[in-house]
Amino acid sequence: MIIVTTADVPGMRVVSTLGLVRGNSIRARHLGRDIMAALRNVAGGEIREYTKMMAEAREQAIDRMIEEAEALDADAVVMVRFQTSMVMAGAAEMLCYGTAVRLEPED
């Protein structure tokens, strides 16, 4: 499966647009991570616990988007974007979405 943030794939032509596909993951903060994050916030620097949590959420959202695209028999997902939002205090959503398409090589 080809995943790109652009509207097209170099060397390929979009022959069919199959529609919007998306995947999301909602993650809640963890008490242990919050304690470490608070300590790092005082000292400054990257809060690795949250960086790891968001990276895992991003990967899961991508995987779920790909599952939707595969169910449509897509070759690629173009115009992929990410969005985050707070769902409730202490929980955030990572959304990944794009357009599922079928491709063929350019002549």
pTM comes to 0.85
Q: Is the pLDDT of residue 40 over 80?
A: no
pLDDT confidence band for 52 (50 / 70 / 90) = confident
Query: Tell me: the pLDDT tens digits for 53-102?
Result: 889 999 999 999 999 999 999 999 999 999 999 888 778 899 999 999 99
Domain that holds residue 88: 2-105
Specify the number of domains making up the chain. 1
Q: Using alpha carbons, list the distances in angstroms from residue 56 to 1, 59, 71, 88, 104.
A: 20, 5, 23, 19, 32
* Residue 16 belongs to domain with CATH number: 3.30.110.70
